[in-house]
Every structure is written in C-alpha cells, then in structure tokens.
Amino acid sequence: MTYEISQRFFFDAAHTLRREIEAEGSARLHGHTYQGEVAVSGTVDPETGMVVDLGQLRLLLGQVREQLDHHLLDEVAGLGIPTLENLCAFIARFAALSGFRLSRVSVWRDGIGDRCDLRLP
C-alpha cells in the first residue's frame, strides 16, 4: 500500500505583483498570510511504522518557513515572481533536497480564497 502523509505550515509575507487586472492594488507593497502543505508518499517502513517521521518533515518545513516568513517575497533568492505557482515550485525544490518522495506541494491564502497545488510524479 502507498500512503500520503502531509504537514502544514504558515508564513506571513509581503510582495508586489505586476498584472493587468487589479493592477493598482497588486503593484503596491501588500502582504498575506500564506498556508503551505507538503505531502510525501510511500510505503510504511516496517521498522518505524511510518512513511516518514513527521518530526523530520516539520524540521524541513521550519527551514523553508525561515526563508519566507516576514520577508519581502520580491527579494527571496530563487523564488522569481512572487506568485502562488512560484511559491509551490520554490518549496518543492527546497523540500526535494531532503530526499523525501514528494507527491504534492500546496500554497493558499484563506483570506482571499486563492490556492495552488503542485502535483509531483
């Protein structure tokens, strides 16, 4: 059997965004509370009874959070344009360094109802 196990985290950050619709408000410096979730898939290790130790996943996500929380996303190295899509890709690239078998990375903003899911093979 294959399981998917996940851990959520949040971060507060500011950014600007150039776009055609809602252009004026997006171009001004503004912030959001973001929610993130990283899912790992695999089989249960018979010795541990776990797909992955959630403590290790929380440690990893704490490192990701440090790079994003209370930062200006426009200035985060390696992020690119601070869109939900690029946040998912940034988190996925960082989390992939752990060796975990990632199945999904999600980023959303409850306050305005936006969400992005990056599904990985």
pLDDT (0 to 100) of residue 71: 98
Max Cα–Cα distance, the chain, nearest Å: 56
Q: What is the CATH number of the domain that holds 63?
A: 3.30.479.10
Could you tell me which residues come within 8 angstroms of residue 103 by beta carbon, excluding any fewer than 6 positions away?
4, 39, 40, 41, 119, 120
d(C-alpha 47, C-alpha 111), whole Å: 42
**What is the rounded CA–CA span in Å between residue 56 and residue 6?**
12
Q: Are 30 and 14 in contact (CB under 8 A)?
A: yes
Domains of the chain: total: 1
| pLDDT tens for each residue of 41-71 | 999 999 999 999 999 999 999 999 999 999 9
Domain that holds residue 98: 3-119
